[in-house]
Amino acid sequence: MKISFPTNDRKTIAKRTGRCKEFVIYDLDDSKIVDISYHKNNHEHHDHGHDHGHGDGHGQHDHKKGEGEHSHEEMGELLKGVDVLVVGRVGKFMKKALDGFGIRYQLTKKLEIQEVVNEFLEGID
């Protein structure tokens, strides 16, 4: 089973999934960690609250189809093969993107990645 987390510090789950620095992917099998890999999020530079060269020019980022739209395609590639993405919250555009990629997500209130990984390990037979 492969589970992924958005992170900025490799220890905690990032608050903003789409703007995290990277995604960590844990490959779990037989109640143990087989592999851990980190994948830089090239989408992180998009700051949805400030004007930075695209959008409507008034500090708003346009997610509508057409001019100013950016996609979450890079994240889809990064998360390819992941069984579940564990997040603190997911916005409507990220939810739509994850649904489009066929990536299941799970919400958690926990902050520590290792704590959530341990819960998954306990559930693997």
Classify the C-alpha dihedral 7-117-26-105 as positive or negative. Answer: negative
The model's pTM is: 0.77
The whole-number mean pLDDT for each consecutive block of 10 residues of the chain, a chain of 125 residues, reads 97 93 95 95 57 40 42 82 94 89 94 96 80
Beta bridge mates, 85: 4, 105
Spell out the residues 6+ positions from residue 124 whose beta carbon is closer than 8 angstroms to its own. 1, 28, 29, 30, 31
Q: What is the CATH number of the domain that holds 46?
A: 3.30.420.130
The amino acid sitting at 36 is I
Q: Which range of residues forms the domain containing residue 9? A: 2-123
- DSSP conformation class of 44: T
- CA–CA gap between residue 23 and residue 28 (Å, rounded): 16
Number of domains in the chain: 1
Predicted local distance difference test score (pLDDT) of residue 77:
87
